[in-house]
Structure 1
Amino acid sequence: MSRRDSPRPRCQSCNLPSQLCMCAEIPRVETRTRFLVLQHLMEMGKKSNTGRVAVQALANARLLVHGALAEPLDTAVLSEPGTWLLYPDGPAAPADAPAPRQLVVLDGSWSQARKMTQRIPALRTLPRLVLPPPPPGLLKLREPTHPAGMSTLDAIARAVAVLEGPEAAAPLERLAALRVQRIAECGTLN
């Protein structure tokens, strides 16, 4: 295998090539809302995955993996009172509903997220937080396949802005922009 074909060493935490590691840049963000990131198994090793970085940044967050045969998903956590689903399709929760105490965020492609909502019945019963359309100029790696598409980290930052204010979301927004920049730099490394 030539030097060019050999895999570059990756940071075990942020999953970027070691020389682009952004772990020192990850802020610690306190929120009232607990975030439960439900990651599709196929997302775990992708350098473009932002769910794991979001969980590292959020003091009140937990990551669960869906699709691992050895560890079936314990859906009891989805039935906790005050649990909502961050999802762009379906009916939004009523405007007068109390804010969620826990927000479930699906981390995967649109196809994977849709399948998770179909295969995990508890997700279909949750009230939904539907975000407004993404702002123009939002940095992204590629065009989303869904009109409301954005990275998991961007979606969490926008949800924090809606639920807890723009000041609370600002460190996550900066982290999302840095992540896009670092992933773009991956393509320029020799």
Structure 2
Amino acid sequence: MDLDFPLSSASDDDAGDTPTPPGRAICHAGCGRPSRVCLCPHMPHTPLHTSTTVVVLHHPHALHRNPLSTLPLLARCLANLHLLPGRRLRPSSTQLIPPPSPNPVLLLFPSPAASDLTSWCRSTPPSVRSNPILLLLDGTWKQAKEMHAASLPFISSFAIPVSLPVDSGVDGDSMFESELVVKKEPHKGCLSTMEAVARALRLLEPEGSGAQIEEPMIRVLRAMVAFQSDHLQHRTMKPRVKLRKKKDIKREQEMKRNA
């Protein structure tokens, strides 16, 4: 069942901070993270204002079941951000992007039909691409693909598919190989939602202001990855129990009986 709700501006409730164990000190007044990994010193003093409206359709499980989700931080970094929980976009989901929209609606997703965002910006006159709406899908890669397929019947008639460069033939980096990767990525060039928004805003914001938006967002993400990497380096990992397939167990039992 879809869990679509009316679109509203991002707030602390929208961000849905990841549940933490009882007794752990939390930075409730700021980033919402455990106090020992507080990111407030790295956050913008006030939410960043953009001419681009960012809309994120996020899977209902994206926040509560993913402690590494960058959405809570993204919600605190951008003023013109809207979070929409659900598994697909449809006409009743939002009033922000009713077709036809007077502003370009860009669907940032690495699909075969997507154009390179840099090329689109270069080939589109500033007057035509002013005040764009940037639409993203947030979830696991499997969830995002399902959300993309489910949303296409509605958005394909008006959304412009764009993407940032992704090399599907090369494995992605891990946080130990890049200071911006939150977890192991499936392909080279795959980005977290927060980094994808930062890179896109660098290109979309007018008069060269994109770099001033991108830099503080990347600074927050870099600090988050540093905390997580340091935690894993000092963590004692227990060996995982190797799961055996039922057919292998059955074969062993038959061999014992035959012996």
The higher-RCO structure (CA 8 Å, 6+ apart) is: 1
Work out the CA distance in 2 between the residues paired with 1:171 and 1:110: 26
Residue 156 (structure 2) pairs with residue 124 (structure 1):
yes
Deviations 1:93-147 (A, max 9, x none): 753263262111211121111111111232334102322359x955213331134
**Aligned-partner residue type, residue 26 of structure 1:** M
Matched residues, percent identical? 27
Q: Rate the CA distance shift 1:62–1:172 in 2: closer, same or farther, 3 A.
A: same
Residue 200 (structure 2) pairs with residue 159 (structure 1):
yes
Contact 2:107–2:161 (CA under 8 A) maintained in structure 1: yes
Contact 1:52–1:63 (CA under 8 A) maintained in structure 2: no
- Residue 49 of structure 1: CA displacement? 0.3
> 5 Å matches for 1:1-190?
7=21, 9=24, 14=31, 16-27=33-44, 28-45=47-64, 46-67=66-87, 74-79=93-98, 80-81=101-102, 82-89=104-111, 90-92=113-115, 94=120, 95-96=123-124, 98-99=128-129, 101-120=132-151, 121-125=153-157, 126-133=159-166, 137=178, 139-164=180-205, 165-187=210-232, 188=234
Contact 2:42–2:219 (CA under 8 A) maintained in structure 1: no
Q: Which is higher, the Rg of structure 1 or of structure 2? A: 2
Give unpaired runs (5+ residues) of structure 2.
1-19, 168-176, 237-259
Deviations 1:152-190 (A, max 9, x none): 111011001111232321111111111212233444479
Q: How many pairs are equivalent?
A: 182
Q: Which runs of 4+ in 1 moved over 4 A?
A: 10-15
Q: Rate the CA distance shift 1:138–1:180 in 2: closer, same or farther, 3 A.
A: closer
Contact 2:110–2:164 (CA under 8 A) maintained in structure 1: yes
Secondary structure of the structure 2 residue equivalent to 1:32? coil
- TM-score normalised by structure 1 residue count: 0.78
Aligned twin of 1:3: none
Contact 1:16–1:183 (CA under 8 A) maintained in structure 2: no
Secondary structure of the structure 1 residue equivalent to 2:228? helix
Secondary structure of the structure 2 residue equivalent to 1:42? coil
- Residue 75 of structure 1: CA displacement? 3.8
Work out the CA distance in 1 between the residues paired with 2:124 and 2:108: 17
Deviations 1:49-105 (A, max 9, x none): 01221121001111111149xxxx714433343221111222327532632621112
Contact 1:35–1:61 (CA under 8 A) maintained in structure 2: yes
User: Mean alpha-carbon deviation: is it higher for 53-62 or for 86-95?
Assistant: 86-95
The CA RMSD measured in Å over matched residues stands at 3.2
